[in-house]
A and B are shown apart, each in its own frame.
Chain A
Amino acid sequence: MRVWQPGSHLTMQRGAEVRDWSWRRTTRRVTTLARLTRPYKLRTTLALVSLLLAALTALIPPFLARDAVNAIQDDDLTKLSWVVAGFVFAGVLTLLTSSAQTYLTGWTGERILADLRNRLFRHLQRLSLGFYERNRAGVIISRITNDVEALDQLVTDGVTTLVQNSLILVGSAVLLFYLDWRLALATLVVVPFMAVATALFRSRSSRAYSSVRERLGLVTATLAEDINGMRVVQAFTRETPNQRRFQEVNEHYRAANHTTVVLNGLYFPFVDFLSAIATMIVLGYGGYLVFEGQTSVATLFAFILYLSNFFDPVQQLSQLYNTFLAAVAALDKIMDVMDEEPEVLDRPGAGELPRIAGNVRFDDVRFAYGRGAEVLHGIDLDVPAGTTVALVGHTGAGKSTIAKLLARFYDPVGGRITIDGVDLRDVTQASLRRQLGVVPQEGFLFAGTVHENIAFGQPGARREDVVEAAKTVGAHDFIERLEDGYDTDLQERGTRLSLGQRQLVAFARALLADPRILILDEATSSVDIGTERRIESALEILLAERTAFIIAHRLSTIRNADLIVVLEHGQVVEQGTHAELMTQRGLYTALYGDWADAA
């Protein structure tokens, strides 16, 4: 399902563009697709065979119609019956083969796409956080949705259309030549006209339609924005000017669409006219040939029937070109993602991290994102097990980078990070992260039930444990009040809950996972006062008896921390408890001093 997103009209795809047509790239594309069909060799083969058969059997009936006319002319009614029986039999054959073909090509196509989707997703899951920070989420999402869909059109419909229509086109032409080559030659004179007209029509209309899409996008975007901001529109009495503006945008769209009306209005009657010309040639030149005794009326009749086979395939094939381009472009983009390698990898032979106490050390840790400038310049930290560390400092000082390194979302460029003396790079990522709990800002939730969200880190967790965790952080009451309690579906990103409630659920999730080390990014947005208090006490429970790194925003959190680390430009400038730092009159005092005075 295509989801409308704000501003999408500005970045709308302007038709597919494929730049690289080199031999190597092309063979890679083909092998990528071929490899996907490999597990389904039998079905793929059967699909292709039935496709061939369906196209070929479809060519028979007009041919038999000629024999029928011949039989009538010869007054041979037995032969007529046989021919008609053959006619029906050919029809039944087409019925069966095209039924098999539709099912088989559809099945294989959808299967391949499902496999591709799954593989792509698993691959994305392997990639490190760096990939996600380099690429915008929308772009990555469209790889797995829009691009797979673009491929879908080629794989399920495109291949069938291509093979079937080419076969019918070529087969009909061959049969026409077989029936009477002179008449065939004369009739097929219209084909080049048809081809030129179709090519012209396609290129013009693809341009026209892309402009229609673009302007429709603008109509939709305007509408969505104005619905979103309707309160502002009304508060500032902008109803009339906005309505006028919307009509303008709407009119623009209509104008663009007008071009397509003209193009369709010219093209389709022209095709119809060409078919009249072809009929005229068959009747006129064919009639002349009959008078000359060189061909039969039955042949003319077959010609008339075959002619209807000609115009449809040409149109369908021309349509395919755009589908094909879009699919290749999509495939390229998917292949690019598949080529990405995770930056953080388990070292060969990396062991499991044994159950840890939670002594964390940063030894002269240096870090830079990609090839960018260094953002951490030699961080030294020694955090004994059970300590609550509050990281404070400006945006960009390096607080969240430290948190990410500790979770090994990135590897340091220099120095090392150890937990209980073990270098993070010497153990598997999974065993490390199982002992870590991360609570992101705003408490990111997933679509699914409350239970599933709390049990996110322990998918098999029993209901009692989930309830216990929720009770401990004080989330139980409001969960019980939801219509289905713990089985209430939270929908996308848990939007049904308030911000504070989402945070509490995220706390419960972290608590249930029972991590040895907790990494918490405190929310900056405000919640109502009741929830605020609940969060405060939940935090206390969560922090007890574990090592915790908090990107802190709340005064109470910072005051209660065992260790406050003040960061500035990627360096630790001060550390100590609140009381100690207040006496130093450094950056910390500058940050909090005036507030302390005011209070």
Chain B
Amino acid sequence: MAAPYRQTFVRLLTFLRPYKWSLWVSVVLAVGSQACAVLMAWLTGTTLEQVLTSKSEHDLWVLIGAVFVVGVIRAVLMFGRRMISGNQALGVEFDMRNALYAKLVRLSFGFYDRYQTGQLMSRATVDLQTVRFFLGYGLIFFFQHILTVVGATAVMFFVDWRLALCATAVTPFIIVLAYRYSHVSHPILRDVQQRMGEVATVAEENIVGVHVVKSFAQERAESQKFEQRSEAVFRQSVNANRQRAVYVPVLSFLPLLAQAVVLLVGGHMVASGELTYGDFFFFNVLTLMLVMPLRMLGMWIGQAQRSTASGERIFEIMDEPEVIHDRPGAVALPPGEGRVRFEHVDFSYAEGRAVLEGIDLEIAPGDTVALIGHTGSGKTTVASLVPRFYDVDSGRVTVDGADVRDVTLASLRRSIGVVAQDPFLFSATVRENIAFGVPEATYEAVERAARLAQAHDFIAALPDGYETVIGERGITLSGGQRQRLAIARALVLDPRILILDDATASVDATTEAHIRTALREVMRGRTTIIIAHRLSTIALADELVVLSEGRIAARGTHDELIESSPVYRDIYEHGLLERELAERVEARGDEVAA
């Protein structure tokens, strides 16, 4: 084992630390139950000898009684072992999940920019499953099997070392072979899974994109493509199967060989009087007992390797630095009216690729500023720095005079309401979604926010009103409805600063007018930063800030900028107008459809 590999393995074991006590108890119970198994084998051999040499019927009944007693004790010990280690396994899994979640919650936006949901999910499900299976069940079984093999072998050597040598000659071969099988089959089986995934992808595309396939009359070509993928699954499955056909029968054959050797050599020894019948039978039963543990040992070694690899991927996340966190001694954001200042702010997502350069911006309390610019000009980034989703590279961002890095994240973010471009809603009730930032909000507060955001009417029309679960029973919301819920969600916080990424989703004209009124209402007395994509929202702003390549290109009112700023003129003529129309047409349509 390489050093980092061993380190990961040892580190995985630390998850067992809280269960030290139960671990020891289950080890003791496992030792006990395996000892019972060996005892049972010995009793079987001795009884058969008793019967053969027909000593006394009385001794026979004593032995039979012993078999029963040992059987009961073993069952009780096994039950205890399973209950204790089973609960311990569940505990380990529970702890690992919670630890991972706790970590994920603390990781900052930068981390989520780098990792896709799918990647994180596969670590949190597949990798975690592998690790917990090994730590929870594998380790105990592994230990129990080693115990059985070592114990039974030791007993054999104790009884007769020559026969023991014969009987255990195949042992290393079985372990090595089982390990090899687990080692070579794993990549192939994983490949089968992956190719199944490819089959699913082609099927999915063809089903979701059926209109494209049909309109280009490509049914035949797509069928061929599908069959190729499907045949690849077949070929690889057959490969996996071929391995199975080689290894598994051999693995079953080797113990049989051991049995044959015991019969032959043991038989000769019995005949020459070197071995008693009792020990002969004892050996036979012990050989039989070893079959399963030997095969499993090899498998568990492979399992240990895989779970270490999975563990490594999990630790990769657990070791991610938590970039954004409260500075020691951070205080709550002091009360204020919501003055926002950017002082010489430089920022980049990745080193060497500046996104913002020397931003200086002051937004007076209660003012509304619209940020305008092409894609990639940095307008979303500017807005993200206020709630400290990222930290600046140099310069500082202050809210009411306090550097955002000097105050607690909780107090800062509770004072800022954020409405994202494509608002993410949770599959919870409407009420829970609106009260997301203030779970203890009263029903009245939720409804007030919904009314302000022009969302009350459509919510009331939902089957269960505010208690309707979003996403359930096919209840989906239109883009406009989602946006209004997101606005309500931000309003419940009663924030001093509002950040609004003006959604591109369409809202019908009437609602849009309502939202505009609502926004005017909610902006009153709050500092508002709007990332603007359309004309109507620009009209709400006191001042426009035009961003271009990470710098402030111009600021002023619409009338001023249309004269002075070529960047603004370009955006105005070619972006905002066109989109305005597209949205309006679609919105009108939705209105009718609804």
User: Considering only CB atoms, which chain B residue lies closest to A103 in the complex?
Assistant: B245
**Beta-carbon contacts under 8 Å, B207-245 to A:** 207-219, 221-223, 226-227, 230-231, 233-234, 237-238, 241-242, 244-245
B375 touches A528 (CB 8 A): yes
List residues 118-169 of chain A with CB under 8 A from any CB of chain B: 118, 121-122, 124-126, 129, 132, 137, 140-141, 144-145, 149
* A554 touches which of B93, B581, B593 (Cβ 8 Å): B581
Q: Which A residues lie within 8 Å of B238 (CB)?
A: 106-107, 110
Q: What string of 1s and 0s marks CB contacts (under 8 Å) between B418-460 and chain A?
A: 1010011011000000001101000000000000000000000
Q: Which residues of A562-599 are within 8 A (CB) of B? A: 591-592, 595, 599
Given the known interface contacts A231-B420, A397-B589, the answer about A272 and B75 at a Cβ–Cβ threshold of 8 Å is: yes
Stretch of A171-179, A253-261, A321-329 on the interface side: A253-261
In contact, B102 and A75 (Cβ under 8 angstroms) = no
Which one of B78, B197, B222, B410 lies within 8 Å of A125 (CB-CB)?
B222
Chain A residue with the shortest CB-CB distance to B375: A528
In the bound complex, CA of A265 to CA of B80 (Å): 8
Whether the pair A261, B86 counts as a contact (CB closer than 8 A) is yes
* Identity of the chain B residue whose Cβ is nearest the Cβ of A525 in the assembled complex: B504
| Contact, CB under 8 Å: B593 / A395 | yes
Check B79 for interface membership: any CB of A closer than 8 A.
yes
* Contact A261 B83, beta carbon cutoff 8 Å: yes
Among B64, B78, B217, contact of A272 (Cβ-Cβ < 8 Å): B78
Judge whether A61 and B413 touch: CB under 8 Å.
Answer: no
Inter-chain contact B200/A447, CB cutoff 8 Å: no
Known: A77-B268, A526-B533, A526-B579. A279 touches B40 (CB 8 A): yes
Q: Which of B119-127, B298-306, B335-343 contacts A (4 or more CB under 8 A)?
A: B119-127
Q: Find out whether the CB atom of B589 lies under 8 angstroms from the CB atom of A1.
A: no
Q: What 1/0 flags go to B378-421 for Cβ under 8 Å of A?
A: 00000000010100000000000000000001100110101010
Segment from A24-32, A219-227, A470-478, A542-550 that makes contact with B: A219-227
| A254-285 residues at the B interface, CB under 8 angstroms | 254, 257-258, 261-262, 264-266, 268-270, 272-273, 276-277, 279-280, 283-284
Q: Report if A316 contacts B (CB, 8 A).
A: no
A77 to B272, CA, bound (A): 10
Tell me the minimal C-beta distance from B321 to chain A in angstroms. Answer: 16
Docked complex: A57-106 residues within 8 A CB-CB of B? 61, 65, 68, 71-73, 75, 77, 80-81, 83-84, 87-88, 91-92, 94-96, 98-100, 102-103, 106
**Contacts A122-B223, A220-B125 known; A103 to B242 CB distance under 8 Å?**
yes
Chain A residues, Cβ within 8 Å of B218? 456-457, 459
B389 touches A492 (CB 8 A): no
Interface status of B147 (Cβ within 8 A of chain A): no
Residue of A nearest to B509 (CB): A594
By the criterion CB–CB under 8 Å, are A230 and B436 in contact? no
Interchain CB contact under 8 A, B207 and A137: yes
A301 touches B121 (CB 8 A): no
Complex-state Cα separation, A141 to B210, whole angstroms: 12
With contacts A94-B249, A236-B436, A555-B581 taken as known, whether A529 is within 8 angstroms of B205 at the C-beta atoms is no
The answer, yes or no, to whether A446 is at the interface (CB within 8 Å) is: yes
Q: Write out the residue numbers on chain B whose beta carbons fall within 8 Å of the beta carbon of A447.
A: 201-202, 205
Known A-B contacts A224-B121, A235-B418; A230 and B112 likewise in contact (beta carbons under 8 Å): yes
Count: A-B pairs, CB below 8 Å: 430
- Whether B203 and A492, one on each chain, are in contact in the complex, defined by CB atoms closer than 8 angstroms, is no
Known: A81-B264, A270-B75, A276-B74. A529 touches B374 (CB 8 A): yes
In the complex, the answer to whether B213 meets A3 with C-beta atoms within 8 Å is: no
Q: Are B47 and A287 in contact (CB under 8 A)?
A: yes
Provide the bound-state CA to CA distance between A283 and B227, in Å: 60
Residues of A within 8 A of B40 (CB): 276, 279
Known A-B contacts A272-B74, A283-B47; the reply to A84 vs B214 at CB < 8 A is no
Asked if A265 meets B86 with Cβ closer than 8 Å, knowing A227-B104, A283-B48, A529-B374, the reply is yes
Q: Which residues in A have their C-beta under 8 angstroms from that of B61?
A: 284
Alpha-carbon gap, A457 to B215, bound state (A): 9
User: A392's closest neighbor in chain B, by CB?
Assistant: B585
Complex contact B249–A98 (CB within 8 A): yes
Collect the chain A residues with CB atoms within 8 Å of residue B418's CB: 232, 235-236
Is A369 in the interface zone, CB < 8 Å from B? Answer: no
A395 to B280, CA, bound (A): 87
Q: Which of A243, A288, A304, A529 contacts B101 (CB 8 A)?
A: A243
Q: How far, in whole Å, are A147 and B217 apart by their CA atoms in the complex?
A: 28
Cβ contact within 8 Å between A266 and B79: yes
Contact across chains for B67 and A283 when beta carbons are under 8 A apart: yes
B94 within 8 A of A: yes
- Distance A3 CA – B201 CA, assembled complex (angstroms): 10
Could you tell me the distance in whole angstroms from the C-beta of A491 to the nearest C-beta in chain B?
9
User: Which residues of chain B (41-84) have a CB below 8 Å from chain A?
Assistant: 44, 47-48, 50-52, 54, 57, 60-61, 63-64, 67-68, 70-72, 74-76, 78-79, 82-83
Chain B residues, Cβ within 8 Å of A231:
109, 112, 389, 420, 424
Cβ distance B492 to chain A, nearest Cβ, rounded Å: 9
**Could you tell me the dominant secondary structure of chain B's interface residues?**
helix
Asked whether any CB of chain B lies closer than 8 Å to the CB of A250, the reply is yes
A384-400 interface mask toward B, CB cutoff 8 Å, 1 = contact, 0 = none? 00000000111111000
A39 at the interface (CB under 8 A from B): no
B194 within 8 A of A: yes
- Give Cα A88–Cα B208 distance, bound, in whole angstroms: 58
On chain B, the residues within 8 Å of A592 by CB distance are 581, 585
Name the one of B63, B216, B589 contacting A513, with C-beta atoms under 8 angstroms: B216
B67 contact set on A, CB distance < 8 A: 276, 279-280, 283
Which of these, B106, B284, B436, contacts A238 with CB under 8 Å?
Answer: B436
Identify which of B104, B221, B574 gathers the most chain A CB atoms within 10 Å of its CB: B104
**A294: Cβ under 8 A from any B Cβ:** no
Do A261 and B98 form a contact, CB below 8 Å, given A125-B213, A396-B589? no
Bound state CA distance, A272 and B40, in angstroms? 12
Which of A12-20, A181-189, A194-202, A431-439 lies on the face that meets chain B?
A431-439
CA distance A273 to B70 in the complex (A): 9
Asked whether A301 lies within 8 Å of B48 as measured between CB atoms, the reply is yes
Q: How far is the CA of A261 from the CA of B194 in the complex (A)?
A: 32
Contact B230 A118 (CB under 8 A): yes
What is the CB-to-nearest-CB distance from B64 to chain A, in angstroms, rounded to a whole number? 4
C-alpha gap A75/B72 in the complex (Å): 38
User: Known contacts A91-B253, A239-B105, A459-B221; is A599 also within 8 Å of B64 by CB?
Assistant: no
Q: Does A242 contact B (CB under 8 A)?
A: yes
**B199 engages A145 (CB within 8 Å):** yes
Q: Which of these binds chain A: B4-12, B254-262, B516-524? A: B254-262
**Chain B CB within 8 A of A407 CB:** yes
Interface flags for B563-594 (1: CB within 8 Å of A; 0: not) read 00000001100110111111111101111110
Pairwise interchain contact B82-A236, C-beta atoms closer than 8 A? no
Closest to B216 in A: A457
User: Which residue of B has the minimal Cβ distance to A120?
Assistant: B203
The answer to whether B288 touches A4, judged by C-beta atoms less than 8 angstroms apart, is: no
Contact (A106, B241) CB under 8 Å given A125-B222, A276-B71 = yes
Q: A530 CA to B104 CA in the complex, in Å?
A: 37
Separation of A237 and B242 alpha carbons in the complex (Å): 55
> Could you say which of B202, B226, B267 contacts A77, with CB atoms under 8 Å apart?
B267
A246 CB contact (under 8 Å) in B101, B222, B414, B427: B101
Closest residue on chain A to residue B377 by CB atoms:
A528
Q: How far is the CA of A533 from the CA of B284 in the complex (A)?
A: 84
Q: Which residues in A have their C-beta under 8 angstroms from that of B87?
A: 258, 261
Which A residues are in CB contact (< 8 Å) with B227? 118, 121
A-B contact pairs, 28 of them (CB 8 A): A1-B197, A6-B427, A72-B267, A87-B256, A88-B260, A95-B253, A106-B238, A107-B241, A141-B203, A223-B101, A230-B104, A231-B389, A232-B423, A237-B410, A238-B437, A242-B105, A243-B101, A254-B90, A254-B94, A269-B74, A291-B51, A395-B589, A397-B592, A437-B216, A438-B211, A438-B212, A444-B212, A526-B533
Besides A91-B256, A524-B506, A524-B586, 8 other CB < 8 A contacts? Answer: A118-B227, A141-B203, A141-B204, A225-B427, A227-B120, A433-B214, A444-B209, A526-B504
